[in-house]
Structure 1
Amino acid sequence: MDYIRAFIVGGTICLIGQILMDKTSFTPARILVSFVTAGVILGAIGIYDPIVEYGKAGATVPLPGFGYALAKGAIKDVKEMGIIGAFTGGIKATAAGIAAAIFFGYLMAIIFNPRAKS
């Protein structure tokens, strides 16, 4: 059942992204930033928590999940360290994901020799 719920939540997020690409003039970069920002806002006000509990990886893996992790990390560190935690908490909470993205992106660039479209 967890797989089905993750598929439903993740699929709904992807459906929203596809609708935004098809029906608006938003660029993919603007959609990316909008999803991360939405995750931060929804995480900060507590709306994304029930979505994560229901959809698990279907909610945490897509882009809003990254924003959610940023918000949760910042909120946690603000409670522990004060205002400086607003700047450090999100970075600490997402450091492993950012490092993995950089490492695997670099590894794929070495393996597949990317080049610009002509």
Structure 2
Amino acid sequence: MVFIKAFVIGGIICALTQILMEKTRLMPGRIMVLLVTLGTFLGAVGLYEPFAEFAGAGATVPLLGFGNVLWKGVREAVDANGFLGLFQGGFKACAVGVSAALIFGYLASVLFEPKMKKK
């Protein structure tokens, strides 16, 4: 049942994002930033953790989860190091994910021929 719930919640998040991409003139990069910012905001106001406990990987894998990871890293670093934590917490919390995205993105661009989206 856990897998079904994660699949359904993750699918709903992806479907809503796809609707946003199709029905607005927002570029994909802006939509990605919107999702990360929304995850950060939900984490800051305390709504993301209960949502993630309910939805499991369906909530933590999409970009909303990345925003929440950034928020948690910054919050912990600020608690430990004060003002400097603003600059180091997010990097420490998401370093592995960002590194993997960069490496696999580069490999995909080498192996395949990327094309720009037509207007």
What TM-score comes out, normalization by structure 2 length?
Answer: 0.88
Residues 43-91 of structure 1, C-alpha deviations (whole Å, 9 max, x = no match): 1111111111111211111111111110011011111111111211111
The letter of the residue matching 1:90 is G
Which residue does the alignment assign to 1:65? 65
Is residue 47 of structure 1 aligned with residue 47 of structure 2?
yes
1:32 equivalenced with 2:56 (yes/no): no
Q: CA RMSD in A?
A: 1.7
The equivalent of 2:92 in structure 1 is: 92
Distance (whole Å) between structure 2 residues aligned to residue 102 and residue 29 of structure 1: 15
3-state SS of the aligned residue for 2:20? Answer: helix
* Cα distance, 1:21–1:85 mapped onto 2, change above 3 Å: same
CA separation of 1:106/1:25 partners in 2, compared to 1, >3 Å: closer, same or farther? closer
Residue segments in structure 1 that go unaligned for 5+ positions in a row: none
Structure 2, unaligned runs of 5 or more: none
**For the structure 1 residues 115 and 19, does the alpha-carbon distance in structure 2 shift closer, same or farther, using more than 3 Å as the test?**
closer
Deviation larger for 101-110 or 60-69 = 101-110
Pair 107,16 (structure 1): closer, same or farther in 2 beyond 3 Å: same
Residue identity opposite 2:58 in structure 1: G
